[in-house]
Structure 1
Amino acid sequence: MSDQLIDAPDVSDAAPAPRRRRRAPRQDWRLGGRTVRRWDVVVLAVALVSVGLGIVGGGLLSRVDAPWAPIASSLTLWVGFAVAIGFAFARSRPIGLLRFRPVDVLFGVGVGLALRGMQGAVAGVAPFPTAGMLDSSLPASWWLTDALPAVLVAPVLEEFLFRGVLLVVVYQLLRRAAGSLAAGFAALLVSTGAFILVHAIGGTLSVADAVVFGAVGLTCGLLVLLTGRVWGAVLTHVVFNAAYVVLMVVGTALS
């Protein structure tokens, strides 16, 4: 046997193992990522159930012949909206969705007023609508039960539900399988259709009203899809409703 030792390979001469490149975190929920991954069929199911229960409960209360019934009906519906919104955002917050930019204010004012002008042209309403049962004055209770909910509560809850949750969930579920364009189109139609249906509950929705609600839903949905942020849609809806309240106040005062 030879006394010569066999040289062991020099570990220092071996090529270093390639370092795995770390993927940069996505900065926009529309591109996917972990912040929107948990918005799945569970979020969609909870939203549908909670909103459905709110609709049923609110519809039953609206049939009660009592002065408190209208506000109780609205509160029941809004609780259903709030549960769906709260559950979704408790699971995760899609990155960029809640981000605010000053341009969102311009979107809200410009688009909101344009939609209100379109509503007047389509529905053929008077330039200054009036509160039918009020005689040239608006009681303090009207501001609390009608004006404030119409300007702040309803627009915020509706936009966060239909555009902030429902649209995002449908887009997230379909993006990988159908592509961003098809997923966005489907999410836009689903969220707008649900928006119209909710407003049709409790009364007959005219064709003109359906067109107006459809325009509001599509426009607000497009704002969310194009910007990735929900605040432009929220402010658009707020301005749209606030413009009607202002016109009603003026019309009632002039009647």
Structure 2
Amino acid sequence: MSTDTPAPERVRARSGRRRPWWRGGSSMRRWNLDLLGIALLALGAGLLAGAWLGGFAGTLVLWALLLAAVLFAMLRRGVPRGLMQFRAVDVLYGIVLGGILRGIQGWLAVSFGGSGALPSYPSLEGALPPLWWAEDLLGGAIIAPVIEELFFRGLLLVVIFTLVRRFAGDDRAGIAVGGFVAVVASTALFVAAHYLAGAMSADAAVSLTLVGLVCGLLVVFTGRIWPAILVHIVFNGTGVLLTAAGTLLG
């Protein structure tokens, strides 16, 4: 008697293996409620440790714990199919949407009572702080966006979406509900984490909310994390460069 898998079942199996992460499939089988708990535990522990240590050391510990949660999810639970795929159009998403978000942030700063002048570092004789390139340009404009997007959108959003979709169903309505809940919840956690990590003005809170929503929607609609990472890098990077320019030209 043949032990080969019947042809229809082989077709269904191959089809299941090719399903993108937002449709479920084998790559999402182990993304369960306990993984959400691990992610939230890492976020809470990172915020507490960061507040206790303070300064750049606290930020490094927070980054390390968030990255550890991401690596645990990807290495032990599987990489969501298609999430890490990169396409050339992702660069366009980053430049255009990141630039638009930075422009909106400037408009919001003026609307909330700002002078409209370029931001600047507190310094003597218009000189940049000695480690601005390490803490702000490298850390704030590159490392932070990558880690934050991998955690808040690549881990939290994906696992929340997956859990809600399983409950709501695999049809179009269930996927829509999952996307809505995941984008809103991950954005709320993203903004709350920044608020708890340090003082934040009202216009900064609105700007961060917009960044979270745009990046979340990009991940949901494209199925990829790179558009969100590049938007965040452009948003943070332009902020650092404008601050450096304001310091040198002020």
With normalisation by structure 2, the TM-score equals: 0.88
How far the C-alpha of 1:146 sits from its partner, in A, is 2.3
Report the 3-state secondary structure (helix = DSSP H, G, I; strand = E; otherwise coil) of the residue aligned with 1:147. helix
Deviation for aligned residue 1:127: 4.2
SS of 1:204's partner is coil
Specify the alignment match of 1:60 in structure 2: 52
CA distance in structure 2 between the partners assigned to 1:19 and 1:113 by the alignment: 51
Corresponding residue for residue 130 of structure 1? 120
- Unmatched 5+ residue regions in structure 1? 1-17, 63-69
Cα drift, residue 182 of structure 1: 0.7
Q: Is the 8 A contact 1:61 1:73 kept in 2?
A: yes
Q: Which amino acid aligns with 1:20?
A: P
1:134 CA displacement = 4.8
Cα distance in 1 for residues equivalent to 2:138 and 2:179: 32
Residues 1:19 and 1:141: Cα distance change in structure 2 (over 3 Å) = closer
Q: How does 1:22-37 map to 2 (within 5 A)?
A: 22=10, 23=12, 24=15, 25-37=17-29
Contact kept in structure 2, 1:37 and 1:172, CA below 8 Å? no
Q: What is the SS of the residue equivalent to 1:57?
A: helix
* d(CA) in 2 for partners of 1:103, 1:76: 33
In structure 2, stretches of 5+ residues that fail to align are 1-5, 169-173
Distance apart, 1:162 and its partner CA: 0.4
Q: 1:175 to 1:129 in 2, by over 3 A?
A: same
Q: Does 1:48 align with 2:40?
A: yes
What's the CA shift string for 1:182-234, capped at 9, x where partnerless? 11100011100000001101433332221111100000000000000000000
Q: Pick from 21, 41, 44 the counterpart of residue 9 of structure 2.
A: 21
Q: Is the 8 A contact 2:123 2:129 kept in 1?
A: no
In the superposition, the TM-score normalised over structure 1's length comes to: 0.87
Q: Percent same amino acid at aligned positions?
A: 44
* Alignment-derived partner of residue 87 in structure 1: 72
Q: Give the equivalent residue in structure 1 for 2:171.
A: none
Report the CA distance shift for 1:111/1:19 in structure 2 as closer, same or farther (over 3 A).
closer
Select the residue among 203, 206, 215 that pairs with 1:211.
206
After TM superposition, the runs of 4+ consecutive aligned structure 1 residues lying more than 4 A away are: none
The 5 Å alignment of 1:1-255 reads 19-22=7-10, 23=12, 24=15, 25-62=17-54, 70-90=55-75, 91-124=77-110, 125=114, 126-178=116-168, 179-255=174-250
Give the distance between the partners of 2:204 and 2:129, measured in 1 at CA: 27
Q: Matches of 1:97 and 1:88 in 2, distance apart?
A: 13
Letter in 1 for 2:62: L
Question: Is contact 2:121-2:129 (8 Å) kept?
Answer: no
Say if 2:153 and 2:215, in contact at 8 Å, map to a contact too.
Answer: yes
